[in-house]
Structure 1
């Protein structure tokens, strides 16, 4: 007998495969793992503590969604505020862009910090560094109470090439994120703009890639790292750094991003929506009302990029590429562990 979670997952995989959105082989690959014990490929994640967490929505626990641009985070953020089965639903606010996600036993305290719940309380698309220095202080101020809260960070990652191209496509249409706050050690940093005027609308891909201050490059690694360990934003504002100093900083950023990702309560990969949902529901005592949908065609995948430009995008995003490889290994390790643990419950 399969556990209820595995039955749901299997049914979902069958249904999706039948619609042509996912290969049947993908489902068969998952079901094959149910009947065997999990065998790790390496000892890389032998000390990983992944498993169900005790998230007390009635107490002082808070989920913090670290939303990295163009990773599919908007869809995931909407799922969090609209599609979870909750004792107290997230109330729609007047402007309908956000929902008030309050604890079942409170009219003032939130259990979720995200764009679509609290709004950007630490600045637009704040990274790990900004959130860690800001969230607790902001919640104390908003709720007019001081609590010893336990924070559960979650995030979504995406294939770095697709994410970078998607950000370029977004900028071409006029997006800027001008209100993003770059803060570290409680000090603000002014990153030089790549353009003059209100936005960078109509920029060519070559021009987009050539700006040395374009924060799109290696965005996922930077936003997941504790920049306090690598002289904060000096990498982007100090033009006197030697190549050796830059390389040392970048390796420190990558190391920190990997460590923070592994310590997070949960993360997902946008190319694996069904696994992403299954792991979230396994990690937290929360369930979604409906199954996530995998979209395999996006503006990024439909945009024609030359082989030469792909090479340059890979060079610019080499940290994100290394982080994503690591994230995929960890994500798949955790999914195998989930299948194994659920299979043991079934038996």
Structure 2
């Protein structure tokens, strides 16, 4: 791989058809309105009811813990701040000015209900992936709480091309993430397994062509790799199996882990992400999420051929995002349906209360028409106290 190879590939892919674009268009074209007014579309994936139904009876006072898997350049920093600053809680997170981390304790306990960058810090390593978190978080949380915690993993995904361009711009400005451990099967990768893409302290000023030309650049298919169980493919040892087999296992594992997560959101759909989180965990945000349409990635003007080549470099992420997008839409739809059913139940309950009160008023009115005499009480009993009092007044 070198820049000349990249330029040739860009020329080649510029003449090809983008499967990713076709897929997104197909999803839009297949949409139709259901009888109850909800938007649905024909599924190309065989999701089960268990895949679509996501509701957690999150017990913040018990042993439940939300674990946020933060993938670079997916909007995770903003979402992470929402988790510690924007959720309506009996005991809000304690965020002090000038400190990067907040204290998110359960009501009445010195135990954290949230494992994330802004609560516990990078306790399992900088931007720890699924492989690292699942082998690290249980031991840390159980040690702190002295009991088995119920762990609910969550994450955010983003359009692969936009995410890739955003990471390039971030690295171009001097970011490296070189302190990330990439622990797998008890050890980090060797330099031979994961060669550096640059010499020196960072990759400041890297061009897009140079960025795309590095075969060991972890920006490529980052979302798939960070959501997959890397133990299935020999971690970072690329010689353990064929490229095709490795890709198949990585994508299958990433889809499976994403599907089984308690929640995931999409950067491109902020309000729906908020709705789905609230619907899943029964927690409420105080302020609505905002959709930022102006990002650094959006400001990058790349030609069609370059975009096609980025899709090629991120072919697994493209397939994963297509899968995630459809699953996300279905889950949001089911969430909205549950909310509509709940509102209908509430309206029905209010109607029944009004009817019940009206019947009680009718009974009282009928009683008054009959003379207003309470049942089971004689005339003497009703007037006895008054007559006795009147007699005493006369004697006085």
Q: What is the TM-score of this pair, normalised by structure 2?
A: 0.74
CA contact (8 A) 1:38 1:340 kept: no
CA contact (8 A) 2:74 2:163 kept: yes
Which consecutive unaligned segments of at least 5 residues does structure 2 have? Answer: 1-30, 345-396
Residue equivalent to 1:146: 146
Residue equivalent to 2:267: 270
Residue equivalent to 1:119: 121
2:103 to 100, 105, 109: 100
Please say if 1:334 is aligned against 2:336: no
Counterpart-to-counterpart distance in 2, 1:187 and 1:33: 51
Counterpart-to-counterpart distance in 2, 1:343 and 1:313: 41
CA contact (8 A) 1:38 1:337 kept: no
CA contact (8 A) 1:36 1:340 kept: no
Please say if 1:76 is aligned against 2:79: yes
CA contact (8 A) 1:221 1:319 kept: yes
Residue equivalent to 1:35: 36
Aligned-pair RMSD on alpha carbons?
1.9
- State the shift of 1:146 in Å: 2.7
SS of 2:156 mapped into structure 1: strand
1:53 to 52, 56, 59: 56
Please say if 1:172 is aligned against 2:198: no
CA contact (8 A) 1:166 1:300 kept: yes
Deviations 1:209-234 (A, max 9, x none): 01011000000000011111221222
Deviations 1:31-55 (A, max 9, x none): x769347866336212415232111
- State the shift of 1:126 in Å: 0.6
SS of 2:287 mapped into structure 1: coil
After superposition, where does 1:201-216 map in structure 2 within 5 Å? 201-216=204-219
Q: Which range moves more in the overlay, 42-51 or 296-305?
A: 42-51
CA contact (8 A) 2:228 2:251 kept: yes
CA contact (8 A) 2:142 2:148 kept: no
Deviations 1:299-342 (A, max 9, x none): 00111112222122111000000000000000001111112222
SS of 1:155 mapped into structure 2: strand
Which consecutive unaligned segments of at least 5 residues does structure 1 have? Answer: 1-29
- State the shift of 1:172 in Å: 0.4
Please say if 1:229 is aligned against 2:226: no
Q: CA 1:33/1:98 → structure 2, altered by over 3 Å: closer, same or farther?
A: farther
Please say if 1:66 is aligned against 2:63: no
Residue equivalent to 2:46: 44
After superposition, where does 1:295-310 map in structure 2 within 5 Å? 295-310=292-307
How many residues are aligned here? Answer: 308
Counterpart-to-counterpart distance in 2, 1:224 and 1:257: 5
Q: What is the TM-score of this pair, normalised by structure 1?
A: 0.84
Counterpart-to-counterpart distance in 2, 1:106 and 1:156: 29
SS of 2:183 mapped into structure 1: strand
CA contact (8 A) 2:52 2:334 kept: no
Counterpart-to-counterpart distance in 2, 1:96 and 1:152: 26
Counterpart-to-counterpart distance in 2, 1:331 and 1:93: 34
Bigger relative contact order, structure 1 or 2 (CA pairs below 8 A, ≥6 apart):
1
Residue equivalent to 1:26: none
SS of 1:183 mapped into structure 2: coil
